[in-house]
Structure 1
Amino acid sequence: MSYFMTLLISGVTTFLAIGFTPVFVPTWLSAWLSSWAIAFPTVLTVAPVVRCILHRFVVTVAV
């Protein structure tokens, strides 16, 4: 999931910053790699914590 999200967002922001120029693809891939390198470990760290917090709100104890 983090792969596609960072690929899309970095592509859009790279396009908005430099337009579709001859250096677009290398610049996009460079931006994607650095953003994915941050996003992937963040998702691995944050997702279990968020899942645990949401579990406390959603699951009710049977009486």
Structure 2
Amino acid sequence: MSVSTGTWDALHSRPDNGACQDVVLGKFGEPVPLPEPFGAEVGTGDFTVYGEAARLSKRGATSDQ
């Protein structure tokens, strides 16, 4: 299965006064940048894909078709 198929909905960050100030969207397989003090990236290539994207990739299709 190609895990680069599909998107992950949101990574919420910068909590302030009970609400997250930033939302990051992305695609499986693309790295997620972490802000300082971490200053690194988290790879998403090995994440399990669920939902419609997983069903499509099992059939060899993409969500763009």
TM-score, normalised on structure 2? 0.26
Q: Bigger radius of gyration, 1 or 2?
A: 1
Instruction: Compare relative contact order (CA 8 Å, sep 6+) and give the higher one, 1 or 2.
Output: 1
Please state which structure has a larger fraction of its residues in helix. 1
> Could you say which structure has the higher strand fraction?
2
